[in-house]
Amino acid sequence: MADTSDSTLAPDQSSKPSAIWSPADITLIKHIPKSARPSCSQHLASLLRKVVSDPDSTTNWLDLFNWGYTVLYPPKRGGKRHNLSQIIKRRISSFAAGNSDSDATNDSPSVQQRKHSSTTLSQAVSAKLEDGNVRAAVRILMSQDSPAVPSPESLKALAEKHPPASSNLSELPVPQSEQCLSVDEAKVRRAVLSFPAGSAGGPDSLRPQHIRDMLMCQEAGAEFLSALTGFVNVVLAGGCPVDVAPIFFGGRLLALNKKTGGIRPIAIWASR
């Protein structure tokens, strides 16, 4: 009889063929269990290689975006019968078999289960201290900025600070392969290991710590590093499709009120 104690489905992530992708409001586990790291490294490496072999395939990119939500979300139940490493391995097996869009069960994550109190100051500081990032904890304590309340007024104020792009990106020249920056495995490894402890993830919630866990895996770390380096070079060569680029180069943003009044811009850039 098939084991139904776990599901590979994260909420609203079953429509793989669509080019439109929205992140689910789910917190992933902070560390990959050691016994699950070889499986995670090998599976994510296979998804990275698929993107490298066919970067124009939106499905390949969406599989990559959905991986964290599908594999690394925390189960509702624990104990010997629900060993986290075994749960992760089952999710990977189901994902690899193309069953990641199966019906959800009681172990599927729920957006409503997230506690609003997780955004409080004390819990934010505690989370940074647990990650070993004392500097970030002190910075949070010393900050006098406060999150802006979502409202039409806040949206209007942000829109005024972020004018629309002045040119069409599709009109930019496509770089030739010999002109593109290329990196080797040593540079990618150094970059991954350079992230401070507790660094946050992007829209897919995959954190640098997850990448580090897989990179440092003795059994499959070399395979993962090779696949990751190939993927990075595809991105550097402009291989990210136009419809995928807003997702891949996106991020989680938080609007803050200035202590002196007004609202802070979310993005600042300098023109030459």
Burial class (CB in 10 A: 0-12, 13-18, 19+), 267: exposed
Please say if the pLDDT value at position 117 is more than 60.
no
What is the C-alpha separation between 202 and 67, in angstroms, rounded? 13
* Bridge partners, residue 257, by sequence: 146, 263
DSSP output for 186-248 = HHHHHHHHTSPTT----TT---HHHHHHHHT-TTTHHHHHHHHHHHHHHHHTT-S-TTTHHHH
pLDDT score for 6 = 46
- Using one digit for the tens of pLDDT, what is the confidence trace for 62-71? 999 999 999 9
Q: Which two tokens mark 252? A: 């989680």
Q: Please state at what angle helix 185-193 crosses helix 221-236, rounded to 10 degrees.
A: 100
Q: Which two tokens mark 66? A: 């959905």
- Report which secondary-structure segment, H or E, holds 257: strand 256-257
At 239, the amino acid letter reads G
Residue 235 pLDDT grade (very low, low, confident, very high; cuts 50, 70, 90): very high
At 228, the amino acid letter reads L
What is the C-alpha separation between 49 and 238, in angstroms, rounded? 16
Q: Which two tokens mark 213? A: 């866990």
Closest by CA position to 60, among listed 71, 44, 75: 44
Share the mean pLDDT of the chain.
77
CA 224: distance to chain centroid?
A: 17
Please calculate the CA angle 266-16-74 and round it to the nearest 5 degrees.
Answer: 70
- Using one digit for the tens of pLDDT, what is the confidence trace for 10-62? 444 433 434 468 777 788 998 999 999 999 999 999 999 999 999 999 999 99
Sign of the C-alpha dihedral, residues 234, 230, 23, 126?
A: negative
Let me know how many helices (H) and strands (E) the chain has, helices first: 10, 2
- Using one digit for the tens of pLDDT, what is the confidence trace for 81-96? 568 999 999 999 999 7
What is the C-alpha separation between 95 and 64, in angstroms, rounded? 11
Please say if the pLDDT value at position 9 is more than 70.
no
What is the C-alpha separation between 245 and 250, in angstroms, rounded? 8
Q: Please state at what angle helix 221-236 crosses helix 208-215, rounded to 10 degrees.
A: 130
pLDDT score for 19 = 46
**Domain residue ranges of the chain, discontinuous segments joined by +:** 34-113+146-164+173-257
At 95, the amino acid letter reads F
Q: What is the mean pLDDT of residues 115-137?
A: 60
